């Protein structure tokens, strides 16, 4: 089966504006909002150890976003700050702030620092090694504005992508915390943890109304070999996926999506070197 047909058989559309969204509600009275702004500033929050070889692809996705009123707040570890500043300066792109984190902070602390430095009324997680479709922010903001009781918008499926194994998949259906775009006044404080700090998304969606967007190609969750979680963690995620693309189908999928996402170049970088040799 060709990849396009396989995607359609799992109700996955290649065009992002065909997005479907629906609501999950636990407490009907938990979310009450004033009138929402027409063009809210969205702050994209990135935490990085300074692996520019990978970060540049996430940054390119930020540059390509169709939603104009946005900023990127980057929190870099102290030893990475110089090369992150140098890279951002070379891009000549406005509305990007680089903050240097004090030494000894956890990943959860870094996320809190990014949120504290952000100016936007909406906060979007922007991991430094994942990829986002150009319309990701625009669709999330549209959902949040149209549905005035939603505290957050979260993808219910996403694309799992493991180029070193020539493997991709449409994920199982759940709330994918790394895709969360939320009104800042409802985002809890991240716990001071080195990983699993995104428990805040589970707290938010258990207490508020939220929109689940069913458009998995808006977000590519990349297995790089330097992720917070190990290979066994991703093998479990792939084992629960709705459908997989391997070998030639993986290559065909990359070609199909390459007009919107830098999959081909990113895969080449991860495959030409062992990830452990990629400069941090």
- Of 57 and 103, which is predicted with more confidence? 57
Cβ atoms of 214 and 21 closer than 8 Å: yes
- Of 193 and 234, which is predicted with more confidence? 234
pTM above 0.75, yes or no: yes
The CATH number given to whatever domain includes residue 87 is 3.90.550.10
Measured CA to CA, the distance from residue 22 to residue 24 in angstroms comes to: 7
The answer to whether residue 65 scores a pLDDT higher than 80 is: yes
The answer to whether residue 107 scores a pLDDT higher than 80 is: yes
Given this model, what pLDDT does residue 277 score? 43
Closest by CA to 90, choosing from 124, 55, 127, is 55
Given this model, what pLDDT does residue 276 score? 44
Please, what sign has the CA dihedral across residues 46, 48, 50, 51?
negative
Given this model, what pLDDT does residue 280 score? 38
Confirm whether 91 is domain-assigned.
yes
Give the range with max mean pLDDT: 4-8, 30-34, 137-141: 137-141
The answer to whether residue 26 scores a pLDDT higher than 90 is: no
What is the extent of the structural domain holding 127?
3-29+39-275
Q: Which residue has the tokens 């508020």?
A: 208
- Of 110 and 119, which is predicted with more confidence? 119
H or E segment and range at residue 18: none
The answer to whether residue 56 scores a pLDDT higher than 60 is: yes
Measured CA to CA, the distance from residue 57 to residue 87 in angstroms comes to: 12
DSSP for 132-180, written as a single string: E-TTHHHHHHHHHHHSTT-SEEEES--EEEEGGGTEEEEPPSS--GGG-
Confirm whether 138 is domain-assigned.
yes
Given this model, what pLDDT does residue 198 score? 62
Confirm whether 238 is domain-assigned.
yes
Confirm whether 258 is domain-assigned.
yes
Q: Average pLDDT for residues 151-177, to the nearest whole number?
A: 93
Q: Average pLDDT for residues 50-54, to the nearest whole number?
A: 90
Percent of the chain with pLDDT over 70: 85
The answer to whether residue 205 scores a pLDDT higher than 80 is: no
Cβ atoms of 8 and 166 closer than 8 Å: no
The answer to whether residue 114 scores a pLDDT higher than 60 is: yes
Given this model, what pLDDT does residue 228 score? 62
The answer to whether residue 86 scores a pLDDT higher than 70 is: yes
Q: What is the DSSP letter of 187?
A: P
Confidence class of residue 146 from pLDDT cuts 50, 70 and 90? confident
DSSP-assigned beta bridge partners for residue 213 = 21, 155
Given this model, what pLDDT does residue 194 score? 62
The answer to whether residue 278 scores a pLDDT higher than 60 is: no
Confirm whether 280 is domain-assigned.
no
Confirm whether 34 is domain-assigned.
no
- How far from each other are the two terminal CA atoms of the chain, in whole angstroms? 40
Q: Average pLDDT for residues 39-68, to the nearest whole number?
A: 94
Q: How many domains, in total, are found in the chain?
A: 1
35-39, 240-244, 267-271: the lowest-pLDDT one: 35-39
CA distances from 266 to 29, 130, 137, 273 (A): 44, 10, 21, 12
């Amino acid at each position: 089966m060709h990849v396009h047909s396989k995607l359609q058989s799992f109700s996955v559309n290649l065009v992002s504006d065909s997005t479907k969204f629906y609501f999950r509600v636990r407490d009907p009275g938990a979310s009450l909002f004033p009138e929402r702004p027409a063009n809210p500033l969205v702050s994209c929050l990135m935490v990085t150890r300074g692996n520019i070889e990978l970060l540049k692809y996430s940054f390119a996705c930020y540059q390509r976003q169709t939603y104009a009123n946005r900023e990127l707040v980057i929190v870099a570890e102290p030893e990475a700050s110089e090369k992150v500043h140098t890279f951002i300066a070379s891009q000549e792109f406005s509305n990007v702030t680089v903050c240097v984190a004090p030494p000894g902070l956890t990943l959860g602390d870094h996320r809190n620092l990014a949120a504290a430095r952000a100016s936007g009324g909406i906060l979007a997680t922007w991991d430094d090694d994942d990829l986002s479709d150009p319309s990701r922010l625009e669709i999330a903001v549209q959902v949040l504005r149209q549905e005035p009781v939603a505290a957050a918008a979260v993808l219910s499926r996403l694309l799992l992508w493991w180029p070193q194994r020539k493997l991709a998949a449409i994920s199982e259906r759940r709330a994918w915390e790394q895709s969360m775009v939320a009104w800042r006044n409802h985002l809890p404080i991240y716990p001071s943890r080195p990983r699993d700090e995104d428990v805040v998304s589970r707290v938010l969606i258990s207490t508020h109304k939220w929109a689940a967007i069913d458009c998995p190609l808006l977000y590519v969750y990349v297995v790089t070999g330097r992720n917070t979680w190990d290979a066994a963690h991703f093998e479990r995620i792939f084992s629960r996926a709705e459908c997989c693309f391997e070998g030639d189908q993986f290559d065909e999928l990359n070609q199909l999506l390459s007009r919107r996402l830098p999959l081909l170049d990113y895969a080449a970088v991860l495959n030409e070197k062992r990830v452990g040799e990629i400069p941090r």
